[in-house]
Structure 1
Amino acid sequence: MTAIETPDRETDYRVPALQRGLTILGMFNARERVLGMQDMAERLGVSTSALYRIVQTLVDMGYLQKAGRNAFELGPQVIADGFAYLASRDIVEVAMPELNALRDRTSLSCHLSIREHTDSLYVYRAFAPQRLTVNIPIGTRLPCHATALGRVLLTALGEAELGQLYQHLRLDDYPPPAPRTLPELQALIAQDRERGWVLHRSDYSTAIATGIRDHAGQVVAAINLSGADAVMDGPDAQGRFLQALFQSAAAISAQLGYVPRA
């Protein structure tokens, strides 16, 4: 008795034209920004006439654009769709696993904050259950200029923007090391921006913070490591913790689409 061959259900449901169109888009990369119709056809193992309608459809939809006679490059719709997806990802969703792993590696508490006006709003924490630890609840608001996380968030602003934000606010109600005047704040934030991280001590605890960047390279959030002075003090300890903090910040930023300049 001859067995009757049944088609693979997954294969049977495929749309060859769609598969070819997506494969074409995947051919473009940093090294190959422009491809000819013949190049695409050879890689797919089909004739150029078989690809013409697919390529034309991609051009009409903005996913490809002409770069010469029978040559094409990625179109603006690819960029727009990619950035829209990245922007839709919740910062907490992206940062949570990285901060949990950072806490486990360092045994220190980690916090994530975003800026709302002149406040640093804490939106996530990875709590280290130790006797001496720093535990700031989610939803807490602290003045940006008086915290490590907040100062990092302020580095996203230029000097003029910073001046406009604080022009009607008094700063001398906060104890040192918080800046007490606007020029002092502007000078401090300029130094923080150049350094790329902030260390802040208060109430027998120390926090080090750095920024999270989006696809445009803008600082959109900040993360920190915080713990007792006895744990955080010392150049060796700070250097080790700072390296771990930078690694986590880079991983989160990469998921938001940030690509460091070469």
Structure 2
Amino acid sequence: MFKPVQSLQRGMILIETISARREGINLKDLAHAIDCSSAATYHLVQTLVDGGFVKRLESPARYVLGDKLLNLMSNENKDRYYNIVHEEMLRLQKQLPGSSLFYSEYIGNHVTVRSAIHENNPTQIQRPNNYILPPYLSAGSVVHLAYWSSEISDEYQQIYPFHMYGHVLWDDWETFETILAKTRKEGCILVPEKKPLNLKLGLPILGKDNALMAALTIQWNQSERKGLREKIRTLKQTAQASGKRITERLEGK
């Protein structure tokens, strides 16, 4: 017959109790939580401290979650985040047949594609080998610039000066700033292409408090001009709905 290990049960209760008190909890309250003496509780919690699962703070003495548990929680949150994004990418591809999608993050001063769905393999999430998006020219890089803080934007421009990389598509910085403002207002940006039938839209992925997490680029090439205006409307509405859905799912709604 199965018999629970009492010390392990108490250890789990300690972790649950500590996690519920972000400001920390003292030894006396922990002992009360597991209905145990302070001396026995000290040995249990110190074992968790030695393992890196709990951290002891001073002035006053109290216990909070340690780095190991925080890292585990962070990894779980990251997995959940990527699952949500990839599910929505697959959904978008079904809604926009023939499209390709590129998910990008700001990594090491570059806007880098981390995952993609290509039109010739629409059910497969692919992970490119850190493909860097062209600064100012790609829909994804425009989205990042639109939502970045001035500090990050300045840092990016030092590496990729606008007069060297951006003037090819945008006449001057004032014009580009207008595009950035429009991107924030509409929640997406349709970047002009040399071939009008090549539709390329950038969509921000926003988390809590509308903080930028990443960007999606949707490339949806058309074969004829007939119905192009309606296709553009469909692309924008579908992308905006997807962006809203991602944010709501990340917030647990």
TM tier relative to shorter chain? 0.5 to 0.7
Distance 2:180 2:141 in 1: 10
TM-score (norm 2): 0.62
Partner residue in 2 for 1:211: 204
Distance 1:31 1:152 in 2: 38
Partner residue in 2 for 1:63: 54
Distance 1:196 1:144, change over 3 A: farther
1:41 aligns with 2:31: yes
Superposed CA offset, 1:117-151 (max 9, x none): 89755443334579xxxxxx956665231221121
What displacement does 1:193 show? 5.4
Q: Is the 8 A contact 1:212 1:249 kept in 2?
A: yes
What displacement does 1:79 show? 7.3
1:146 aligns with 2:140: no
Q: Is the 8 A contact 2:105 2:214 kept in 1?
A: yes
Partner residue in 2 for 1:222: 215
Distance 1:30 1:92, change over 3 A: closer
Distance 1:92 1:40, change over 3 A: closer
Distance 2:109 2:141 in 1: 8
Distance 1:210 1:30 in 2: 36
Unmatched tracts of structure 1, length 5 or more: 1-6, 131-136
TM-score (norm 1): 0.60
Distance 1:23 1:207, change over 3 A: farther
Distance 2:95 2:212 in 1: 25
Alignment partner for residue 171 of structure 1, among 166, 170, 195?
A: 166
Q: Is the 8 A contact 1:115 1:150 kept in 2?
A: no
How many residues align structurally? 231
Distance 2:108 2:181 in 1: 19
Percent sequence identity is 17
What displacement does 1:48 show? 3.5
What displacement does 1:197 show? 3.5
Partner residue in 2 for 1:233: 232
Superposed CA offset, 1:80-125 (max 9, x none): 6358747986x97774344223433555543213457897554433
Q: Is the 8 A contact 1:162 1:186 kept in 2?
A: no
Partner residue in 2 for 1:198: 189
Superposed CA offset, 1:61-84 (max 9, x none): 472334776x73415535763587
* Secondary structure in 2 matching 1:146: coil
Alignment partner for residue 247 of structure 1, among 197, 220, 245?
A: 245
Distance 2:66 2:177 in 1: 38
1:160 aligns with 2:154: yes
Superposed CA offset, 1:12-56 (max 9, x none): xx7644443343122245676443444433443434433121223
Distance 1:182 1:82, change over 3 A: farther
The 5 Å alignment of 1:30-109 reads: 33-59=23-49, 61=52, 63-66=54-57, 72-75=62-65, 77=67, 81-82=71-72, 85=75, 95-104=85-94, 107=97, 109=100
What displacement does 1:192 show? 3.9
Distance 1:250 1:209 in 2: 19
Alignment partner for residue 104 of structure 2, among 113, 136, 139?
A: 113
The 5 Å alignment of 1:13-32 reads: 16-29=6-19
Q: CA RMSD in A?
A: 4.6
Q: Which amino acid aligns with 2:71?
A: D
* Secondary structure in 2 matching 1:110: strand
Q: Is the 8 A contact 2:188 2:236 kept in 1?
A: no
Distance 1:127 1:170 in 2: 26
Distance 2:83 2:238 in 1: 26
Superposed CA offset, 1:161-203 (max 9, x none): 243123372534x3xxx32334544564465457653332433
Q: Is the 8 A contact 1:66 1:73 kept in 2?
A: yes
